[in-house]
Amino acid sequence: MDLVQLLVLILATWRIAYSIYDDSQDGPYNILHRIRYWIGMRYDEKNRLAVVANPAWKRELASMHQCMYCMSVWYGLAATLLWLIVPIREVVFFTALPFAISAGMILVHKFGKK
């Protein structure tokens, strides 16, 4: 794995994890909201996160998604396993590339304002 591929995987992993973590993003057709709901993340009327899902494994999954630092470990592990398991690494790279470009654009936008 060269440096460019590593950077693409890092940015893509961050973008996907942050999209699921950040409740202000719903995505097209509310896909991110649906993923959060399936994971077990519920919000009250003041948009505060509450983990109330059943069964217990969903509560654990939702709890794991409340911390961006915790999520980075699990999503990084998933990206690493995909990289190692998928025989054609270009598939993983080109699947991750749009997320990495999106993450790069967001970072440029955030730090370009200052």
Q: What is the pLDDT along the chain (114 residues), one digit of tens a residue?
A: 789 999 999 999 999 888 888 777 788 888 888 888 888 887 766 667 666 667 877 777 887 888 888 888 888 898 899 889 988 888 888 999 999 999 999 888 888 876
* Predicted pLDDT of residue 101: 92
Name the strand (E) or helix (H) holding 102: helix 89-112
* Phi then psi dihedrals of residue 48, to 5 deg: -95, 140
What is the predicted pLDDT for the residue at 89?
A: 86
End-to-end CA distance of the chain: give it in Å, rounded: 34
Distances, alpha carbon 89 to alpha carbons 6, 53, 94, 95, in Å: 12, 36, 9, 10
pLDDT of residue 50: 67
pTM over 0.85: no
pLDDT of residue 112: 83
Q: How many CB atoms lie within 10 A of CB 92?
A: 19
- Strand ranges in the chain using DSSP code E only, listed in sequence order: 41-43, 49-51
Domain spans of the chain, in order of start: 3-109
